Amino acid sequence: MNVIEASGLGRRYGGTWALRECTVAIPAGHVAALVGPNGAGKTTLLNLAAGLTAPSAGHVTVLGGQPAGSPMALDGIAFVAQDTPMYKNLSARDMLHLTRNLNRRFDQQYAESRLGELGIPLKRRAGKLSGGQQAQLALTLALARRPRLLVLDEPMAMLDPIARHDFMASVMMAMAADGVSIVLSSHVLAELERVADYLILMSRGRVQLAGEVDDLLASHRLLTGPAAEADRYAERLSVVHASRGEAQAHLLVRATADEPVPSGWEAHPVGLEELALAYLREPTTVLPGPDRARRRPLRSENGERTEAAK
Amino acid sequence: MTALSVPARPEEDVSLRPVPWQRMGWVTWRQHRATLAWVVVFLGVLAVLLYLAGRQLYSAHAAALAACQSASSPPCPGAIIAFNGTNGFLANGFMLQAIPPLIGAFVGAPLLARELETGTFRYAWTQGFGPWRWALAKLVPLAVLLATAAGVFSLMLDWYYQPYFVAANQNLSLTEYTPFFPGLFDLRGIGFAAWTLVAFAIGALVGTLIRRVVPAIAAALVAYAGLAFATSLWLRPAYMTPMVTSSVNVPGSAWVMSQWWTKGGKFAFSGWPPERLFAQYCPQGPPVAVGPGGKPKQVGLAECLTPHGYTQWTAYQPASRFWAFQWIEGGWLLVLSAVLIAVTVWLVRRRAT
């Protein structure tokens, strides 16, 4: 099952396309990171999936084929929007009560004890809570709905490092305990690197790269060799990003580990951040399509990932 | 840190039953009770002031009627001036016309505009209840509550203005208004509630379109004013075909729409006669033309012209049509409000944001 599946999806605001020709399939059971610079279209994609915006082109389904924004979709997705909007004049208790009334499922006891553990007073108004507490309150409201998919849009933008750590720990806990699928966006890859096992890179309104982190790392290599030979060699490869020094050139290419390397060249595995940066530096490079997500061979969850992700 | 585990999700329902409507009752009440309280306090204070002002008006009216039982009694002219001057700023009703747009726009415009402006719609519209049902479950109860509050308040207005509708006023030179008077017609009957309702619906729609609270309130007030003026000037006179009479004694409670003269079955002139005719048939000068309440008294003119074959015709709406006019106006305002609310809900559903 794909938790989010888009084909040819586009959204135009006035004359500008915030998102275009987006074709992507995010499978269930992952922590999927949507990464890209500001203005890449991450929020637009998430808003479309949450049913907050209607597409200008193409279509998007969620939770295995439900139209975005349909009753079934709304029931199964908990969406925590950017800056965690809440009614500032309502108390945390009122926000719980509000959310309970607006949903078919709501675990009041879980929500209350979670806020108790976090030291968030139920009587305090949402507007008077710190940024970290507001984010935790929003996450609590979302988790107490017991969603099948949790969507977090830039959840950590407002948080200090400790609050970020706590927040991500809570998210991972929910993932482990409930098997909820998670899609979260950020413009900082570093904060997602440890938790995400599925990556979607976006820039300039397009999806550049999408796939399981393991697959992506396994299908890219960093080749280092004499600068003089770089151009001739590069013609035969699919180069993502090339950087040349006086003597040595570095080519980040799409190639598996078993592909032969000419003499004088060395192949190294790439790290996730290195890979993402290479793509983001070349915004016009658009690589694998969404088919990969479906056709991907089953593989064990560990493998070289631990080593590659440091 | 969080040792508490997330509870297991219950079996997925095969048939998805929507969240029941009544659950939104608490939500709407919790989020708008403060606004509703302000409306009730605002109208309550006005009602008390109106009651105090009304007692003055009623006693001035009673004093004038008592003093003028014989027209020659010395206190009569003073009592008439006293009644006509009592609460003069309220007399024509125009100030109170501001109440429906103020209530309607200040409650209606922020309803969705604030959600859109502060971003809380991203919370509200992604809950299981569903955005369009959420919008409907807020708009309809609030519309009903506001219209009810306005309707109750308009009973107070109706009471206040009664002294101006007494038939004996005209002969005593006391201020008398036709119930169709533009400043008073929609303060009474069902008009007041209907105009409050339409102001709320306009506010909700422009708030959804403009997405900012303050500009939305301003736009709602402008749109309301345009609608109210257009209704008063063009629509209301056309609700029913006016009655036409050649009698010169049209009652002061009637809404005179036009007057014209004929001679020998042919149209001669409308309104005031041409100078030439006037000089020919009324050489004594113009008749005393202004009666109580500023209405021209055409009786004098008729005395000059009727003997020469002229007939005066008056097109008017009799006061007995007041309720018919109220139902017509209330009816189309109700339909318009329903359409505006439906469009608002449709915009939310279409996710035009």
Quick one: average pLDDT of B93-121?
95
Of A71, A88, A110, the CB nearest to B7: A110
For residue A65 the two structure tokens come to 């084929």
Query: Does the structure show a pLDDT above 50 at B55?
Result: yes
CA–CA dist A71, A73 (Å, integer):
5
List the A66-67 sheet strands across, edge first. Answer: A16-27, A2-13, A57-62, A66-67
Quick one: average pLDDT of A33-58?
93
Cβ-Cβ contacts under 8 Å, B15 against chain A:
none
SS3 A58: strand
Whether A177 sits inside 8 A of B131 (CB atoms) is no
Look at residue A178 in the predicted model and tell me its pLDDT: 82
Interface test with B, best of A101, A114, A148 (most B CBs within 10 A): A101
**How many helices and strands (H and E) does chain A possess?**
11, 14
Find tokens 């079996």 and name the residue.
B11
Residue type, A196: A
Query: How far does B133 lie from chain A, in Å, by closest CA?
Result: 10
Cβ-Cβ contacts under 8 Å, B120 against chain A:
85-87
Q: In angstroms, what is the C-alpha Rg of chain A?
A: 21
Whether B4 sits inside 8 A of A81 (CB atoms) is no
Which helix (DSSP H) or strand (DSSP E) does residue B306 occupy?
Answer: none
ipTM, 2 decimals?
0.86
Whether B120 sits inside 8 A of A118 (CB atoms) is no
CB burial readout A93-127, b (16+ within 10 A) else e: ebbbbbbbbbbbbbbeebbbebbeebebeeeebbe
Is B153 an 8 Å CB contact of chain A?
A: no
Is B307 an 8 Å CB contact of chain A?
A: no
Residue A165 in contact with residue A103, Cβ under 8 Å? no
CA–CA dist A74, A48 (Å, integer):
12
Interface test with B, best of A48, A83, A91, A102 (most B CBs within 10 A): A102
Query: How far does B42 lie from chain A, in Å, by closest CA?
Result: 22
SS3 A199: strand
CA–CA dist B321, A131 (Å, integer):
63
Beta bridge partners of B261: B269, B312
Query: How far does A262 lie from chain B, in Å, by closest CA?
Result: 52
* Digit-coded pLDDT (tens) for A48-104: 999 999 999 999 999 999 999 999 999 999 999 988 889 999 999 999 999 999 999
- Angle (deg, nearest 10), helices B191-210 and B99-118: 20
Q: What is the pTM of this model?
A: 0.88
CA–CA dist B50, B53 (Å, integer):
5
Whether B353 sits inside 8 A of A107 (CB atoms) is no
Is B5 an 8 Å CB contact of chain A?
A: yes
From the list A160, A114, A107, A109, the residue with the least C-alpha distance to A137 is: A114
Look at residue A242 in the predicted model and tell me its pLDDT: 85
Residue type, B33: R
Quick one: average pLDDT of B230-251?
91
- DSSP letter at A125? B
From the list B43, B26, B36, the residue with the least C-alpha distance to B143 is: B36
Residue type, B117: E
CA–CA dist B112, B114 (Å, integer):
5
* Digit-coded pLDDT (tens) for B12-25: 555 678 899 999 99
Query: How far does B90 lie from chain A, in Å, by closest CA?
Result: 38
